[in-house]
Each structure stands twice: as structure tokens, then as C-alpha cells.
Amino acid sequence: MRLSYLCAMAAAIVLTFGLSVDARAANLGAANAFNGFIFGNLTSAGQDTEGRLAVGGNFTASNYGVGSGGIGPAVPITNPRTDVLVVGGDMNAQGGWQVFNGNAVWGTSLTAAPTTPSGVTYQGNPVNFAAAQADLTAKSTAWGALSTNASVVFDGFSTLTLTATSAGLNVFNVSESVWESTSNKQIVNAFPMATLLINILGTNVTQFGGMSYNGSSSPSAAHGGVLFNYPQATVVQTNNIAMLGSVLAPYAALTINGGGINGVGVAASAHQQNGGEFHNFTFTGDIPVVPEPTSLALAGLGLAAIAVKRRRA
């Protein structure tokens, strides 16, 4: 009976383990549905988020807008209406700016509400920020430990060229010092379905200058497979640079000083200034998640039990 129980448990573990690898592969979890996803507080004056925005802490902003599109597409109108702005703490929409094409949701308190001509403003908690933070910090750490398998060329002066070498996952590991010293960041990708994981390794990262994707500096859906990952950073600042891809900085206080993040932006906290914006492009990459040691151990136990059962049969 004990062996039968172990076998049943093993089958469940193996099935769960197999499914979890597929289900967890490669996306930004709950953040995938948003343009900006901040675990803590977000402050801003005069900027916007073109897509959906989720803020786990307090959100204080003036002359703002959410969901209107612009460089990227607007949030579409759905029925029932989409929660376009979700705030877990206090919502303070100074000046009564607008949320486009959907609802605004506040969590613990409401200081000032935005206008919602195509939706409603209500209290709720549709996003589990704690679970999302645990998921994305684990992914960032695991992905940051992957080895380089693509081409990283630094000319020693100002140009860094990152070239994809396969149609699958391309990993680039770049030190903070090299990343910060290059004003000309070139991304080259001849594989439309490839994923480009660019790990920036350092604790206090400032990025500036120009960035291009296949020779173009214009934001577009073409760079949806690019993810800039900052697994060690506690501070990330973008200075007048268009980041052509999504940004994962789960431990960092992110400052967008001019320019913009053209993809999903994930950070511990954030401040937007001088026109720094989130532009609504999605992350379409596929990055396998390294299984947790406990999952591997359980899977091993399950397989061992199955093997014992077969030997006794």
C-alpha cells in the first residue's frame, strides 16, 4: 500500500514537474499583461504609461495618462472593461488625469481618482503583487546565472555589439562597467523567433546614449524577444535612451530620466521624469526557467519509486 501511494505520488509529481516547466517557461508571469509592473511605489510628473500599469505600493502622479498608446498601441476597449490601472496602495492622481479604455483600481486608500470615461474606478485587489514579486525575482536570479552562448563584442571605446547566433535562446552577459561605458549599443538578430536575454551584471547601473536593433533605433514589435535583465542591481537609471526591449529589474529602484522602456518594465520601485515613459510593447520571448532544487528532488524521488515498482512487477 505504501509503495502504491509512492507511485501515485510520483506520477503526480512527474506530471506536475513536467507541466510546471512548460507553464513557467519563459514569460514574465503576471507582468506580461502590463506595460509597467512595479512592486512598490511609483512617482511621476508629466509622463505616461501607454499600456496597462500595475503598482503594488503607492502611486502618486500629476499630468499623467495610462492606456492611451502613442509610440506603442493603446489598450483596446473590452467588454467587460479591463483593469487598465491597478494600484495596491494609495492612488493619488493629482489633477484628475485620465485612464483610457478601462478601469482604475485602488487598494488601501484613494487620495485622488483619475477620470475613467470608458470604465469605472473601484477598490479591489485583482493582482497578487507578492506572488508576482517572488516569481519574477526567482526568474531574474536564475536567468542571470545562465552562461553566454551568443556573440558579445566590445570595441574598447564606445560600441557594444550583441549578435544572436541561434534561433532559440541567446544569452549575453555584460558587465556593468562595459554597459555603462558604451554609448552605442547595437543588437543584431537575424532570427525572427529568437529570444535575446541580455544580463547586465552590476549593482548600480546607469545607461545612456543610443541603442539600435538590426540597425534601427525606432521602437517596434520586432524587438519583442529582447529582455534586459538586472539580477543584481539595486539602482537602475536610464538617461535619455530608448530601451529596445523589456526590462526586468526586480530588486532595483528604477529611474526613467527621458527616453523610455519599449516593452514590459518591471522594478522594485520607479520614478519617471523629463519625459521618461513606458511604451506599450509586449515581451514575446521564451526563456526556460531553471527548476528549483526541491522540485528536482521530488521528481527524482518519484522516478525512483516508479523504478522500484517496475522491478517488483
Whether 185 and 303 share a structural domain: no
Letter for the amino acid at 239? N
Contact 263, 243 (CB under 8 A): yes
Domain membership of residue 247 (yes or no) is yes
Tell me the percentage of the chain whose pLDDT exceeds 90.
83
Provide the sign of the torsion angle of the four alpha carbons 240, 246, 249, 252, taken in this order. Answer: positive
Other C-beta atoms within 10 Å of 51: how many? 26
Contact 276, 47 (CB under 8 A): yes
Tell me the percentage of the chain whose pLDDT exceeds 70.
84
Q: What is the reported pLDDT for 23?
A: 36
Domain membership of residue 302 (yes or no) is yes
Contact 88, 59 (CB under 8 A): no
Q: If pLDDT is split at 50, 70 and 90, which confidence band does 290 have?
A: low
Whether 302 and 210 share a structural domain: no
Q: Which long-range contacts (CB under 8 A, 24 or more apart) does 85-88 make?
A: 85/52, 85/53, 85/54, 85/59, 85/114, 86/52, 86/53, 86/54, 86/55, 86/126, 86/127, 87/54, 87/55, 87/58, 87/59, 88/55, 88/56, 88/57, 88/125, 88/127, 88/129
Whether 253 and 184 share a structural domain: yes
Per-residue DSSP letter, 295: H
Whether 185 and 302 share a structural domain: no
Q: What is the reported pLDDT for 289?
A: 77
SS3 165: coil
Task: Determine the average pLDDT of the residues in 36-54.
Answer: 97
Q: What is the reported pLDDT for 12?
A: 36
Whether 17 and 145 share a structural domain: no
Domain membership of residue 18 (yes or no) is yes
Q: How far apart are CA 27 and CA 14, in angstroms?
A: 22
Whether 224 and 297 share a structural domain: no
Contact 221, 244 (CB under 8 A): no
Domain membership of residue 59 (yes or no) is yes
Q: What is the reported pLDDT for 11?
A: 36
SS3 72: coil
Q: Which residues pair with 266 in a beta bridge?
A: 37, 248
Whether 136 and 227 share a structural domain: yes
Residue 167 phi/psi, 5° resolution?
-85, -5
Buried b vs exposed e over 243-261: b needs ≥16 C-beta within 10 Å?
bbbbbbbbbbbbbbbbbbb
Whether 238 and 299 share a structural domain: no
Q: How far apart are CA 173 and CA 74, in angstroms?
A: 33
Whether 61 and 113 share a structural domain: yes
Whether 15 and 79 share a structural domain: no
Domain membership of residue 144 (yes or no) is yes
Peptide bond into 219 cis (omega under 30): no
Q: Determine the structural domain holding residue 265 and report its residue range.
A: 26-279
Domain membership of residue 286 (yes or no) is no
C-alpha cell at 87: 494600484
Whether 153 and 15 share a structural domain: no
Domain membership of residue 284 (yes or no) is no
Q: How many domains does the chain have?
A: 2
C-alpha cell at 310: 517496475
pTM metric for this prediction: 0.86
Letter for the amino acid at 46? G
- Is residue 17's pLDDT more than 80? no
Whether 15 and 39 share a structural domain: no
Domain membership of residue 235 (yes or no) is yes
- Rounded to a whole number of angstroms, the CA Rg of the chain reads 21
Q: If pLDDT is split at 50, 70 and 90, which confidence band does 110 have?
A: very high
